[in-house]
Chains A and B, each alone.
Chain A
Amino acid sequence: MLRAVIVLLISLLAGVYLAGRRASPRPRPDLRYVNSSDVHTLDPARMSWTQDLRLALNLWETLCACDPRTLKPASAAAEFPPEVSADGLTWTFRLRDDGRWSDGTPVTAADFVRGWRRLIEPGTAADYAFFVTDYVEGAAEYVSWRGEGVGVLTALSRLAEGWSIDDGQALVLATAECAEIVRRAYAEATGNVAEPEAFSGSRMARAALPWGELHRRVFEAHAAELEAGFAKVGLEAADDRTLIVRFRKPCPFFADLAAFPVLAPMHPSVDEHRERWRGAPLTREGLVAYDSRWTRPVTAPDGAARPVTNGPYRLVEWRFKRSVRLEVNPHHRDASRIGCRSVEAVVFADANSALLAYEAGDVDFIPTVEVSYDHAIFRLAESGARPDFKLTPLAATYFFNFNCADVEVDGRPNPFVDPRVRRAFSLALDREAIARRVLQRGDRPAATFIPPETLPGYDTPEGMPFDPEAGRRLLGEAGHPQGRGLPVIDVLFNTSGAHPVVGQAIARQWETHLGVRVELRGKESKAFAEDKARRRFMISQANWYADYNDPTTFLDVLAAGNGNNDSGYASAAFDALLARAATADGPEARMRLLREAEATAVMRDAAILPVFHYTSVIAVRGEVEGLHPNSRLWFPFSGVTVAR
């Protein structure tokens, strides 16, 4: 019997040994910093998370750089400033001669076209595709043409495999230009003229058509037109060193955009990973798709290290949900001058553990300290007791969306379609109390959407005051004196987001000042996103971080039909002001129009309810020099030196 126990113990021990043998730690990097959450992707075109972008910023070099001290654009892969035509619509970027990929080959203008094209391709599903599609001439048309083709090919490939399609897909077949042959075949087979209303998913699935053949013919036609279609986009590699970008509307802040890592160039080697179908570089559905593992650090059969990047660092190791390790790109022009030779980003799922690791000296840098006791951290930073905790006002706003569009929410009348009610709620919020007394971590009370003094040249409008008396009066005018006749106000928030206390504090204020009943509805991220997308809320929590140094990074969110406009706010006056600003004469007139637009949306219409502008604490150990705190948490590591 004892033998059995001994055997068991030995087998357990062997298990421990075998499982433990695999760990082989590398030497400590010069700089080790905390990623508050996992790295989602290292494909720059698909990025949307701060922690991913921070890595991309150091792995890839874009046309312009953003100086971490001033946040002004500077020279990077291209000379600065670029050559801008008199009408502001044509920008010519001259690439520097000494730009090199990590395999030693020179960076060319065609590499940028390749990278930007990947960004806008429907298959990439990039969050930041609008950087190109909104401004570059012909890009939006190319994307919609591609989207139509993809829609048709998806429907046809599904039909060819004997599956049904939904009515939305059938409608694409009924209307898309490239589906002409499908309509003709359908009309012949069913014997009637194929009007759009004759198309429905189930009816099409029943029609005995040679779907496979139709799919192949549409696919071949679409693939053949691919290059000609893209040629209409205003992106042109005139020669190896010259990139010409033509805009459809002036984009005075494009140098800022061009510093954003999603606009990185792509080395030709990524095309090795492109999926092909029937010889064309597209999938069956017409998507441009890559074997997504191309971002993983490997040594290719020819001995070259992949992925090939052109930034100051190259990717050496990526361990899932654990760490990403960068080392200096030996071919980069500054390679010999870079003080910080290796960087490691470690994932800490728990912010408290991350701070403890920092205290224990295991990590050197936390880009944002986000712990539930951050008021204590704030106090240490503010009093100067801990000079390594640096207080940084961010260009980011915590706000709530009012549901401006739906008359009914979940069967209950939605009072917020009335702008007076929205204004009343906005007026009855004491932002000062929330920022200074509830959160106590240095956030600035937000009377406006755009954080004041973070965007150069923009003069923030006055903003929404705290005036509960006026709020009550407005509510009375709207037919709800003392909150009478209002349903229970439903506030949707994300339980995984920080600070549910804010919601509780706000609810309490409205109950006191307006006499309404408020109910908080916390949902985990996915359910929250779904409810928000279907606009199943009266008020929902949100935040927005500036992507570039221009007011439009905030204001575009409120434009009618914008993909991020969760409030459903649609105001002709506001949209007209944005349009006028886009073509305004000179930066001052433009900023004035934008200011007016913000005042319209936030003050007059109260589409959103700004609460506070974030202030963040950055923890940097004393040995680390050259990490400049800035309002966009923009941290290039190439200027960093570590005294150790």
Chain B
Amino acid sequence: MKASLKDATSERRRSRLSGSGRAAIAGLALMALAAAALSPWSAAWYDVQEIDSAVRHPPSWRPAGDADIFLTKLSGDSVAVRAPRMTQALAGSRSLLGHDDLGRSLLFRLALGMLVSLLIAAGATGTATVIGTAWGAVAGLCGGRVDQILMRIVDVLYGLPYILLVILMKVALTRPLTALLGGRTRYADFVILFLAIGSVAWLTMARVVRGQVLSLKHEGFVQAARAMGAGPWWILRKHLLPPLAGPIVVYATLTVPQAVLQEAFLSFLGIGVQPPLPSLGRLAADGVSAINPFSGYWWLLAFPCATLVALLLALSGIGDGLRRRFDPADRRPSLLG
């Protein structure tokens, strides 16, 4: 006991942390790469059904169902023309993770689902970063009354349950955005989802940025620039944003897994990504009903969940690793320790 507590009082090695961060980056890169590489094929596959024989076919090495549908859909497509072997090979591996209720390959749906989840998370994070940075910077730079009002608004929004904001935001944005995108429902859905998640996630970002701006504002180089007659926009762009980039990137990275989880929750409510487009959350939520004593479709739950957990782990690992690099003194806990 004594030895262990002594050990704990010593400085911890940082290398292990960044090691796990590196592993996470590698893992995520691998997953994202696989998803992106498969996406042309999975996009072709995501609404293709082989109604006859592949419905709820369990995972197996031998492909089930009729590959012709898939190949017909892809024929003439540049992907299939450029990589005919690859196309054949993928069509042959379609049953590796089993098939869903409509006989679609789970492998392909997972690949596309991961891409969709990542895109939504990235979009949400982008939205949150833009709003949050602007809001926080304005509050921090202007100070005084403006700062108070802006931060009070953030407080109020913090006081609202976030799920309410997301639901109402999604409902409110649907019509105008669909009209804006010329009735392309699928894209509109997508954009609305990440806007809704992002417009809730910016609150923390605004607080962080404001805090940083406040502390930087009184630094000598900012004061000097001001004395030389630089305007606030100039100061923000040339002097404040470069040192702010670190913390902004860190928080953006930490927002990504949150957004993935929130999308999963919205899918559980039935207001996430609309079918036939898959997302990891949608696939996992659909798979939950596999937990029952009557049907043994374990793969419909196990693979989406495993992918979701792996993705979230990798994303959190990257966030933590980045944070430790930029801000070694940060006390917030790490996920991977």
Contact = CB atoms under 8 A, between A and B. Distances in A.
Task: Assess A/B contact in the complex (Cβ within 8 A).
Answer: yes
Given A505-B51, A519-B186, A371 B292 contact: yes
Contacts of B275: 500-501, 503-504, 520, 522
Contacts of A352: 288-289, 291-292
Interface stretch (B30-38, B250-258, B293-301, B305-313): B293-301
Interface stretch (A3-11, A258-266, A372-380): A372-380
Contacts of B185: 490, 519-521
A498 to B, nearest CB: 11
Interface string A362-394: 000000000111011100100000000000000
A373 B290 contact: yes
A438 B51 contact: yes
B295 to A, nearest CB: 4
A407 B303 CA distance: 46
Interface in B279-294: 286, 288-294
A527 B286 contact: no
B243 interface: no
B155 interface: no
A524 B293 CA distance: 30
A356 interface: yes
Main secondary structure of the interface of A (DSSP, over half): helix
A373 B291 CA distance: 10
Contacts of A505: 49, 51, 102
A437 B51 contact: yes
B271 A507 contact: no
Interface string B177-212: 011000111100000000000000000000000000
Interface in B240-273: 270-271
A355 B271 CA distance: 24
A501 B102 contact: yes
B101 interface: yes
Nearest to B286: A372
B130 interface: no
B271 A504 contact: no
Contacts of B186: 519
Interface string A528-567: 0000000000000000000000000000000000000000
A410 B184 CA distance: 11
B289 A524 contact: no
Contacts of B271: 495, 524
B289 A372 contact: yes
Contacts of B183: 410-412, 488, 490
A470 interface: no
Contacts of B51: 433, 437-438, 505
B47 A508 contact: yes
Given A433-B51, A437-B55, A520 B289 contact: no
Interface in A467-508: 488, 490, 495-496, 500-501, 503-505, 507-508
B84 to A, nearest CB: 23
Contact of A504 (B55, B276, B290): B276
B75 interface: no
A530 to B, nearest CB: 10
Contact of B297 (A373, A438, A519): A373
A359 interface: yes
Interface string B81-116: 000000000000000000001100000000000000
B48 interface: yes
Nearest to B288: A352
A496 B270 contact: yes
A359 B293 contact: yes
Contacts, number: 85
B20 interface: no
A373 B295 contact: yes
A352 B291 CA distance: 9
A437 B270 contact: no
Chain B, interface size category, equals 20 to 34
Query: Max chain A CB contacts within 10 Å: which of B275, B293, B297?
Result: B275
B171 interface: yes
A523 B270 CA distance: 9
B270 A524 contact: yes
Contact of B47 (A433, A438, A488, A504): A504
Contacts of B288: 352
A543 B188 CA distance: 27
Given A495-B271, A521-B185, A356 B292 contact: yes
Interface in A99-117: none
B76 to A, nearest CB: 14
Contacts of B295: 373, 375-376
Interface in A191-207: none
Contacts of B223: none
B52 interface: yes
Contacts of B292: 352, 355-356, 371, 373
Contacts of B18: none
Interface string A566-584: 0000000000000000000
Given A359-B293, A373-B290, A412-B183, A495 B274 contact: yes
B289 A371 contact: yes
B289 A373 contact: yes
Contacts of A488: 183
Contacts of A411: 179, 183
A380 B294 CA distance: 9
A376 B179 CA distance: 42
Contacts of B52: 437
A434 B316 CA distance: 42
Nearest to A386: B294
A375 B286 CA distance: 15
Contacts of A437: 51-52, 55
Contact of A520 (B270, B276, B291): B276
B294 A520 contact: no
Contacts of B178: 410
Nearest to A502: B102
Interface string A402-432: 0000000011100000000000000000000
Contacts of B48: 508
Query: Max chain B CB contacts within 10 Å: which of A356, A377, A411, A522?
Result: A522
B50 to A, nearest CB: 10
Contacts of B171: 524, 526-527
Query: Max chain B CB contacts within 10 Å: which of A355, A372, A433, A495?
Result: A372
B244 to A, nearest CB: 38
Contacts of A495: 270-271, 274
Interface in A427-472: 433, 437-438, 440
Given A433-B51, A501-B102, A505-B51, A376 B294 contact: yes
Across the A-B interface, the 3 shortest Cβ-Cβ residue pairs: A376-B295, A372-B289, A522-B274
Given A377-B294, A527-B171, 4 more contacts: A371-B292, A373-B290, A520-B276, A522-B274
16 contacts: A355-B292, A371-B289, A371-B292, A372-B101, A373-B294, A411-B183, A433-B51, A437-B51, A437-B55, A438-B101, A490-B183, A504-B49, A505-B49, A520-B276, A524-B270, A527-B174
